[in-house]
Chain A
Amino acid sequence: MPNKKRFEKFYNQHFDKIYRFVFFRIGNNRPLAEDLVSEIFLKALEHFDDYDESRSTSAWLVTIAKNHLANHWRDTKPTQALPEDIDQEDSAPPNQALWLKLSRAAGAKNSSLLEVKQLLAALDPASAEIVTLHYIFGYSYSEIGELKSVSSGAAKVAAHRALKKLRKLL
Chain B
Amino acid sequence: MRSIKFLLYRVRRAARPSRAERQRIWETVAKQLGSQGGAISWYYQSWFRVSIAALVGIVLISFGTGAYAYSSPDVTAGAVLYPVKLALENVEEKIKFSPAARARFYLKKIERREAEKATLQKKNKPSATLDSQINTAEIKLEKVERELREPEQREIKDQVRKALDKRHRDKTKINTSSQKD
Contacts and interface: CB of A to CB of B under 8 A. Distances in A.
B56 to A, nearest CB: 20
A121 to B, nearest CB: 14
Contact of B26 (A11, A16, A23, A113): A11
Interface stretch (A37-45, A61-69, A71-79, A80-88): A37-45
Nearest to A48: B33
How large, as a class, is the contact surface on chain B? 20 to 34
Contact of A113 (B14, B34, B41, B44): B14
Given A2-B33, A12-B44, A163-B5, A138 B12 contact: yes
B9 interface: yes
B33 A23 contact: no
B2 interface: yes
Interface in B4-20: 4-5, 7-12, 14-17
B12 A15 contact: no
Interface majority SS on B: helix, strand, loop or mixed?
A: helix
A124 interface: no
A8 B17 CA distance: 17
B152 interface: no
A3 to B, nearest CB: 9
Interface in B28-58: 28-30, 32-35, 40-41, 44-46
B38 to A, nearest CB: 10
How large, as a class, is the contact surface on chain A? 35 or more
Contact of B4 (A15, A23, A167): A167
A8 B28 contact: no
Contacts, number: 90
A81 B34 CA distance: 40
Interface string A1-31: 1101101110110011001100110001010
A137 B32 CA distance: 27
Given A8-B41, A12-B40, A15-B17, A135 B12 contact: yes
Contacts of A135: 5, 8-9, 12
Interface of B: 2, 4-5, 7-12, 14-17, 21-22, 24-26, 28-30, 32-35, 40-41, 44-46
26 contacts: A1-B33, A7-B33, A8-B44, A11-B26, A11-B29, A12-B44, A15-B17, A15-B22, A16-B16, A16-B17, A19-B15, A20-B15, A20-B16, A30-B21, A41-B25, A41-B29, A42-B28, A112-B7, A116-B7, A116-B11, A119-B7, A135-B9, A136-B11, A136-B12, A136-B15, A170-B4
Given A38-B25, A112-B10, 16 more contacts: A2-B33, A9-B44, A12-B44, A15-B25, A20-B15, A20-B16, A34-B21, A42-B28, A42-B32, A45-B32, A110-B14, A113-B11, A135-B8, A167-B4, A170-B4, A170-B7
